Amino acid sequence: MSRSLIERRLTDVAERLKQLRFDLGVADEQVTHFSEEAEDARLRSLVSETPLAEHEHRDAARHAAVSARSREDLVVEIARLEALQDDLLDQLLDLDASPSLPDAVPTEARSADGSS
């Protein structure tokens, strides 16, 4: 893969990671909110012992679970992109470490054909 393509992919991955990390911050706030809401609804359902309060508790718990799953999906995607970023950086280092074509010709071969 060419250096410019690797650099372009690195830029794309970095931008995506930046957005996902922002989304993760939002998801953390949502998980906290929905979890607190679910706990409040659970306490209300225990105190009131009505079918409506139990229904509200189930709904709030379901919202908390969905937001937690969404947050976990973000964490998994961030980890995947960080691994991809590491691989791309390794490829970039490999390109820097590999000799370019003019330097690939051994010194003995250059002196044997008369070039310096």
Asked whether residue 41 carries a pLDDT value surpassing 60, the answer given is yes
User: pLDDT (tens digit, 9 = 90+) per residue, 83-99?
Assistant: 999 999 999 999 888 76
Report d(CA 100, CA 86) in Å as an integer. Answer: 23
* pLDDT value of residue 93: 92
Mean pLDDT for the stretch of residues 72-92: 97
Q: Which two tokens stand for residue 67?
A: 């937001």
- List all residues 6 or more positions away from 62 whose beta carbon is below 8 Å from its beta carbon: none
* Contact status, residue 16 vs residue 24, Cβ threshold 8 Å: no
* pLDDT value of residue 108: 52
User: pLDDT (tens digit, 9 = 90+) per residue, 99-111?
Assistant: 665 544 455 544 5
Higher-confidence residue of 108 and 7: namely 7
How far is CA 73 from its chain centroid? 9
Q: What is the band of 115 on the pLDDT scale with cuts at 50, 70, 90?
A: low
* pLDDT value of residue 102: 52
**Burial environment of residue 84 by CB neighbours within 10 A (0 to 12, 13 to 18, 19 or more):** middle
